[in-house]
Structure 1
Amino acid sequence: MKEVTRKIPKKDALGITLGKPVYTEDLAPKNALFVKILRSPHAFAKIKNIDTTEAEKVDGIECILTYKDVPRVPITRAGQGYPEPSPHDWYILDEYVRYVGDEVAIVAGKNEKCVNEAIKKIKVEYEVLEPVLDFEKAEGHSSIIHPEKETHPMFEIGFNAEKNIAASYEMEIGNIEEELKKCDVVVSQRFYTQAQAHVAFEPHTAASYIDMHGRLVIISSTQVPFHVRRIIAEAFKIPIKDVRVIKPRIGGGFGGKQAVHGEPFVAAVTLKTGKPAKIVYSRQEVFEATYSRHPMRYDVTLGATKDGKLKVIDIKGLSDTGAYGEHALTTFMVAGSKTLPLYNKVDAVRFSGKVVYTNKVPAGAYRGYGAIQGNFALESTIDILAEKLGMDPLEFRKKNMINEGETSPIFKIMGEGREGVEMIVRSCKLNECVEEGKKLIKWDEKFPRVKVSETKIRGVGMAIAMQGSGIANIDMGSAILKLNDDGSFNLLVGATDLGTGSDTILAQIAAEVLNVPTEDIIVYSSDTDLTPFDVGAYASSTTYVSGNAVKKAAEKMKKLIIKEGALKLGLDESKVDFDGKYVYEIDGDKKVSLKELATVLLYTEHQKQLIAEASYVGPESPPPFMAGFAEVEVDIETGKVKLINYVAVVDCGVTINPNLAKIQVEGGLVQGIGMALYEDVKYSPNGKLLTNNLMHYKIPSRVDIGNIIVKFAESYEPTGPFGAKSVAEIGIDTPPAAIANAIYNAVGVRITSLPITPEKILLNLKK
């Protein structure tokens, strides 16, 4: 390969490094009205009266909107697929507020100062209601969080607003109870995973204006521009053709921007006033009023024979979706669908549970998307079972895990919010990942523990994981290639680069097919007017789904170039080929350069613009795999955990750009380590978020994460572009379980609730 597998710098790297205006706020109209939101001080209340009289008198105020001034259309903000399975339970503004930070009024003015002054002058009379703050007590609580009659489910998914249930699900293969009776060893354990904030460096930002044709244009730091267009059109009851969404560079998303957030508020102001508007969330608003990861509880029961055959997996879950049901069902189902197939040789498997509403910050998409929660519970219990069997947990996994050429019935039964697809795993180097990780961490020397001093003990632990590559039969990407008169190409894609480097990856794929330098592929992405449709950046889909579309488009372009080159040379198409520089006669001396051909095509001979387009929907979702190994040092006097080494060996197929793939895995690992050891969303007794700034919400810095080693297994996925699978999410999944297992192996303390803090370890040591 010439361009694929090259360590090419990201196409936008230089511009961002030089501070060029590339982000949403940079590109917002200079005369845009400044928009801010009056937010609820109560976790649950009904607005009895809003008086904006004094606020409207503030000099510079252009517009104040309440729930009486905007369309009352129930929507889901979740930007994923269509129809999206989440309940339609959110309104641009509503008479109910359902968490501290929920929107009460939209205020727009000529500057931030006047808007802040006006917000203080708005008088709101609330009927304060009893909030639901404990998700284990939400079902059947006397307070009904969504009593409004307009809220409705998209599908019949166990939705029951009267009982605060946003979704429920149950799946069973085989007879759990009968198979458990045949097991020699049975273990059961309950686990809790916490909410987690995304902490993308760029806060949520959106701007809007009316163009010369009277259409609404939105500039947004979004992962899903085409979904934003559809959702905004639905919310305001306007035709989709009258909405345009432009996505500039994004300063991180991680799933937190896989929805509409500020876009409806600027749109409401622009539609009301006819003037441009922009909103830039404060860091406090990002914490308090966007998304967090779904907190979950899992009860896991495993059964095995004494020779180490895993026979039964039974997982029952409870998920906290917060005030609104975005991604409620899909995230919960992924917790099973992206973990259960790892152990595909069981005789019986069951996955069931509910997703409940609470009066807390809404939960939504976050890298790992349910899989990390399920992985922590399952992979921790695997270690518990292996110990009870007297087996090395590494060898127990190897005996029971999925291998290349195998399948799992889970693939067919469980998708994301709906049924999945049958699939044979064509590429799976999980065994190689485990073996390589074993060597790199020096498992045989260090397992289970090494005493460093009288007070410090080191232990090693591991976990395995799988993800997917887009959502099969749902996620679609498309691409357009255009030949320019100097022989370069424009690549137009709806795919959304979040800073991951997908623009570069897609350019490399096109360049590889055309045998031209990646520098000759000029990428323009994510403008709903100018680029072809793409579902957006989520579900680890871009390289696999959008990459396959780009590859198909490039193959079409190559055929067009050969056809026109043959015409120029006066030869039959079968007699010529294209090497990236020349269309040449295979068995002769005739040739024409690509640059010359492009020039004459546009200006003088057989004039036409060469354009090739293609779309791709994955009929399956080939999973990447990973083995993660943690080495920790535990101070038994303080309970402090120091992460010494983390080894990640990943099978993501062919790495289109090894540097970018490595960075993706490293970034995921750091977020997984943060969830395991540091990050904790905390609330006051009345439901106010306490960890609403970076002083109180701890994310790991470079000094906290020890030595990270990332390796890639040699693998080739036959359905992927040049053998590639996804790599964006797989890195995040294993750290919680691997670190928890390492801590147990070091000091014999099994922590079952995240994050794993020194206090929890010390208390358990004292017990």
Structure 2
Amino acid sequence: MELELRINGVVEGLDVAPNESLLTLLRRQGYTSVKHGCETGECGACTVLVDGVPRPSCVMLAAQVGGCTLSTVESLGSSEKLHPLQAAFTELGAAGCGFCTSGMLLSAHALLQKNPSPSESEVRDALSGNLCRCTGYVKPVQAVMRASTMLRGEKVEPLAHHTISAEEQPAVVTDGQSEKQPALQASGVASTSGAVTTKIPAITSQMMAATPPTVVPAPRPSLQVIGIAAPARNASRATTGKTKFAADFQLRQLAYARILTSPHAHAVIRSIDVSAAKALPGVLSVLTYKDVPRIAYSSIERSAGEEQLADQYCLDYVVRYVGDRVAAVVAETAEVADQALKLISVEYEAQPAILDQRQALASGAVRVHAERESRGILDGVRNIAARIRSEVGDVEQGFAAADQVIETEYIVPPTQQAPLERHSVLTYFDEDDSLIVRTNSQIAHYIRRTLAQVIGLPMRRIRVEQPEIGGNLGLRQHIEGEDLCALLTMATKRPVLLEYSRAEEFRSNHTRQQYILRMKTGVRRDGKILASQMVVLADTGAYATHPLTAHAHTINALALYPSPNMRFLAEVLYTNHAPASTSQAYELQHEFFALESHMDEVARQLRIDALALRRKNWLQTGDRYPLPAAVGGTRENNALVDSCGLPTCLRVVEEKLEWKKRRGSRSNDRYRHGVGLALSFYGDPGIAGGTSGATIKLNEDGSFDLFCGRGENGTQLQTYLTQIAAEVLGVSTLDILLRASDTSSSPFESEVNDVSAFYMNGNVVKRAAEQIRRQILMVAGRMLSVMPENLKINNGIIKGAQGNQLTLAQVATHAMYNEGRQLMTNSSWKAQSIPMTFAAQGVEVEVDVETGSIRVVKVITAVDAGHPVNPSLFETQLAGDVTLALGRSMSEEMFYDQDGVPLINNWLDSHIFSSFEMPELQHYLVESEDNTDLFGAKAVTGIALYGIAPAIANAILDAADIHIRQMPFTPERILRAIHAYMSRQTS
């Protein structure tokens, strides 16, 4: 049917199918700023303005908008002339990964057209239909408020990040007894972000206990770019709709892939008939386990010290979870591919399924992996993928010597990561007959290496391209569909696109599976910990993925409170759930939930203050890291904690939460308020990390091409890398052109999560920048007839002591045309340690004891960030992580029926926090002295995920005197705990 539309002011006559959605039509016409997220109108990523009203285009038929005026984000402004909304989002760091930004901007624009002077509550309400997994809504709301002021022509205050400084040094902590601490004093006015940076003066030897060696902080040089709230590198693209994600590329003769998945949690395929599907017009190829090589591989990259555990296959005759791959179809259209899936006939022989990791260890339990081809499994008979153990001292003797031993058990349920961007893979052969794999995964080099093994092409003929990733959440670290998509391209010689539906996303290996944790602590009456133990039963699902590598790598939450006798034990168990995923940073949310909830329970039993217990036992600057490496034994025995801002972090939260006034002030009213607090850390001062590389070359115009790392994934790593390079080279970040999305040009990178990526890539970029800086100054010295060490680079100008100067462009031209060489350098980096980041988080909650409902009133986060690379973007990261943690703590949970079928397959049932539901958030960046090579900077990605759940549990305990040991804290669980408490009181 013929349809006339006015799109962004241009009238177009378009031919549309009666059942075509408005979203499909717009994307077909090239408006890829309209993103495909949920398919049910819940996420807002596909928002467009229809006659000025925000509408979700995924649930509107194109035929419904005939004659209407449509506006996408391209109508607001361009990179040359940003709309005030776009400018404010860019300036405040509100864009995050950029996937939801277009829809959010259009919702905000519609609000400001109708209401030029909205309140914050009205802005949050307007944005409540736009889900965001990166920013926590804080900066977007502030950006809308700022833009409204600009549009009204009123004066806008310049952005500033002020500090809160301690009047004196942090208190000495000796054997847990802290001196009286002065109140933190605010200097200046609060920044527009509502978050501030707290500075700790350098820690001196007099402030430390006598036993640990003194760690003397290195003096910090004057910095020009590091520490500046520079805009995110992707902000302009994100706010103008130019960011291209994996599914935003269209090629001629594109074919569409679909995957037939298992309806059973555990079954053997006895027969499979694809003849009807192959006969369907438009079907190009169908693959089953009979058509692909049976080669065992791992979907994730593992540490070099680990035995290579390989237990997956492209397609197998055994399916091990609901959603496991059975067959793959490629067709001319997505509709034909969907139809072909229904024509595939499969005869399954159902097998008993393991749906709880405790069942996996039971005598006579079915084996999830009984095949011979898999390798590296610790104990396939008992369904143990791996066992991780780390121990010091004599734990049993420590318990025997304790005055009191406290034991508790905690459960962290499965949750779906639910990134806004769906998993997408595009494969095709280029003009050189090389296989191009464009995927929103962040392990490009590992995918390339594994594909070469599985599909039979040499690595030199495979190139993996990584576009920007939307709503990464740290989980894009699997091989998931790239192998099948590549095989379909090889079979058809056509470009093939594989996109998961939202329901497929919920069934995929983006699920964080269940953890059961058992805590045991032996203490003296004064609160000193003598022995501690954490036992973890980790559900890895059908295949050994991140629960294995997370525990095997380096750190355990238990190390936050060193004692002479410590034991960490984790058993990673196979079940018939989807393979488990990971999150940003280290996979430690479950450990800190158990540890920090347990610490409050220990304090209650000892009748001492929960903060006093922590101060008596916590890890301090100059301490040796207490636990040996679980795998490989690579941690140095004398690994020291160089810096720890935890004392000041705790002071900030304690004061802002009004701990002494509010703690224990429980009333007998229906609505009861309580406060809770939790500490956390990550990093490892004594273990070798992964490897990374970088290449830098100087261009004729004085700019630099930097080849390093991975594509942007919402953590703003690329922005930090450009700031690091710009700082060393004495130029603007605009002069650093980062190229980081292609295995053919980006250097190798291994064993990377978002934290180690910050240090590995940051350090290798710094080293490469220093090398090319020396080359530049040597050439400039010859040109000016001065010694290179007497030259400095500032704002792209090389100056000598006598006032003589050159531009970088002049040096580049001279090197190329007079000396006949390109100024460029390569560098590699093997991380020798990961600096430790510490955090304290506090919450205030309101509990309705009649219904069990809970409201989080306030969240305060203080993070020891060293010298922050970019305070504004750090604040955005913290707000986003807190929002994720709130969802996991309060409402998000995956449920399965008795057959292992997931009962949650959309965002309506898996409730994530919207802008209107958010509590008050306060973020504080505590600045501490650290000897890291990265100008004293520390990573903050993911640290704010850890403390929210235990802080809420501790606040509930304070408010209602009940222990909640299972997440999420739903009204049903709270009400049951209240009823159990009342029964005990009356019995």
TM-score by length of 1: 0.95
Partners in 2 of 1:226 and 1:6 — Cα distance?
32
Contact 1:494 1:536 in 2 (8 A): no
Distance 1:82 1:68, change over 3 A: farther
Partners in 1 of 2:252 and 2:236 — Cα distance?
25
C-alpha displacement of 1:364: 2.2
Contact 1:469 1:540 in 2 (8 A): no
C-alpha displacement of 1:497: 2.1
The equivalent residue for 2:809 is 595
The equivalent residue for 2:598 is 381
C-alpha displacement of 1:418: 6.3
The equivalent residue for 1:446 is 662
Which amino acid is the alignment partner of residue 250 of structure 1? I
Q: Which ranges of structure 2 fall in alignment gaps of 5 or more residues? A: 1-222, 981-987
Equivalent runs, 1:158-177 vs 2, <5 Å = 159-177=378-396
The equivalent residue for 2:707 is 492
1:22 is aligned to 2:236: no
The equivalent residue for 2:368 is 145
Give 3-state SS (helix, strand or coil) of 1:623's partner: strand
Q: What is the percentage of aligned positions where both structures have the same residue?
A: 32
The equivalent residue for 2:469 is 250
The equivalent residue for 1:110 is 332
Number of residue equivalences: 756
Partners in 2 of 1:289 and 1:495 — Cα distance?
23
Contact 1:219 1:247 in 2 (8 A): yes
Equivalent runs, 1:508-523 vs 2, <5 Å = 508-523=723-738
1:650 is aligned to 2:863: yes
Q: Over residues 131-187 of structure 1, what are the superposed CA-to-partner deviations in whole Å (9 max), with x where a residue is unaligned?
A: 11122111244321111100111xxxx711122111112332222222112211211
C-alpha displacement of 1:494: 2.3
Equivalent runs, 1:611-650 vs 2, <5 Å = 611-650=824-863
Give 3-state SS (helix, strand or coil) of 1:252's partner: coil
Q: List 4+ stretches of structure 1 deviating above 6 A.
A: none
Larger Rg: 2
The equivalent residue for 1:128 is 350
Which amino acid is the alignment partner of residue 598 of structure 1? A
Partners in 2 of 1:352 and 1:714 — Cα distance?
34
Contact 1:469 1:726 in 2 (8 A): no
The equivalent residue for 2:233 is 11
Contact 2:502 2:906 in 1 (8 A): yes
The equivalent residue for 2:783 is 568
Contact 2:467 2:711 in 1 (8 A): no
Contact 2:845 2:855 in 1 (8 A): yes
The equivalent residue for 1:339 is 557
The equivalent residue for 2:294 is 72
Query: Which of 574, 581, 587 lines up with 1:370 in the alignment?
Result: 587
Contact 1:202 1:252 in 2 (8 A): yes
1:264 is aligned to 2:489: no
The equivalent residue for 2:949 is 736
Equivalent runs, 1:47-86 vs 2, <5 Å = 47-82=269-304, 85=307
C-alpha displacement of 1:232: 1.4
Partners in 2 of 1:314 and 1:87 — Cα distance?
27
The equivalent residue for 2:749 is 534
Partners in 2 of 1:67 and 1:348 — Cα distance?
50
Give 3-state SS (helix, strand or coil) of 1:458's partner: strand
Contact 2:763 2:829 in 1 (8 A): yes
Partners in 2 of 1:440 and 1:224 — Cα distance?
41
The equivalent residue for 2:122 is none
Query: Which of 535, 546, 549 lines up with 2:761 in the alignment?
Result: 546
Give 3-state SS (helix, strand or coil) of 1:652's partner: strand
More off after superposition, 346-355 vs 103-112: 346-355
C-alpha displacement of 1:209: 1.0
The equivalent residue for 2:793 is 578
The equivalent residue for 1:392 is 609
C-alpha displacement of 1:320: 0.8
TM-score by length of 2: 0.75
1:223 is aligned to 2:442: yes
Partners in 1 of 2:810 and 2:550 — Cα distance?
53
Give 3-state SS (helix, strand or coil) of 2:935's partner: helix
Distance 1:317 1:585, change over 3 A: closer
More off after superposition, 224-233 vs 456-465: 224-233
Distance 1:471 1:57, change over 3 A: farther
1:206 is aligned to 2:425: yes
Equivalent runs, 1:279-428 vs 2, <5 Å = 279-333=498-552, 337-344=555-562, 346-367=563-584, 369-410=586-627, 412-414=628-630, 419-422=634-637, 423-428=639-644
Distance 1:211 1:115, change over 3 A: same
The equivalent residue for 1:751 is 964
Give 3-state SS (helix, strand or coil) of 1:118's partner: helix
Please tell me the root mean square deviation across aligned C-alpha atoms, in Å. Answer: 1.8
Which amino acid is the alignment partner of residue 374 of structure 2? T
1:766 is aligned to 2:966: no
Contact 2:389 2:630 in 1 (8 A): no
Partners in 2 of 1:97 and 1:608 — Cα distance?
58
The equivalent residue for 2:145 is none
Contact 1:24 1:205 in 2 (8 A): yes
Contact 1:28 1:207 in 2 (8 A): no
Q: Over residues 59-105 of structure 1, what are the superposed CA-to-partner deviations in whole Å (9 max), with x where a residue is unaligned?
A: 11111000011111101101344466562110000000111111000
Q: Which ranges of structure 1 fall in alignment gaps of 5 or more residues? A: none
Which amino acid is the alignment partner of residue 152 of structure 1? R
Q: Over residues 257-284 of structure 1, what are the superposed CA-to-partner deviations in whole Å (9 max), with x where a residue is unaligned?
A: 1111121111110122222111011111
Contact 1:80 1:227 in 2 (8 A): no
Q: Over residues 305-324 of structure 1, what are the superposed CA-to-partner deviations in whole Å (9 max), with x where a residue is unaligned?
A: 11111111111221111111
Distance 1:8 1:579, change over 3 A: closer
Partners in 2 of 1:592 and 1:431 — Cα distance?
48
C-alpha displacement of 1:339: 0.7
Give 3-state SS (helix, strand or coil) of 1:503's partner: helix
C-alpha displacement of 1:387: 0.9
Q: Over residues 330-364 of structure 1, what are the superposed CA-to-partner deviations in whole Å (9 max), with x where a residue is unaligned?
A: 22346x823122112x1211111311111111112
Contact 2:410 2:594 in 1 (8 A): yes
Partners in 1 of 2:978 and 2:803 — Cα distance?
81
Partners in 2 of 1:317 and 1:522 — Cα distance?
45
Partners in 2 of 1:80 and 1:659 — Cα distance?
33
Give 3-state SS (helix, strand or coil) of 2:269's partner: strand
Partners in 2 of 1:256 and 1:360 — Cα distance?
17
Contact 1:477 1:495 in 2 (8 A): no
Q: Over residues 203-225 of structure 1, what are the superposed CA-to-partner deviations in whole Å (9 max), with x where a residue is unaligned?
A: 11111111222221100101111
C-alpha displacement of 1:596: 2.1
More off after superposition, 350-359 vs 556-565: 350-359
C-alpha displacement of 1:704: 3.0
Give 3-state SS (helix, strand or coil) of 1:163's partner: coil
Contact 1:80 1:258 in 2 (8 A): no
Distance 1:530 1:469, change over 3 A: farther
Contact 2:689 2:834 in 1 (8 A): no
Partners in 1 of 2:888 and 2:897 — Cα distance?
21
Q: Over residues 34-66 of structure 1, what are the superposed CA-to-partner deviations in whole Å (9 max), with x where a residue is unaligned?
A: 001001111111111111111111111111000
Contact 1:624 1:726 in 2 (8 A): yes
1:277 is aligned to 2:500: no
The equivalent residue for 2:8 is none
The equivalent residue for 2:899 is 686
Distance 1:471 1:672, change over 3 A: farther
C-alpha displacement of 1:539: 4.8
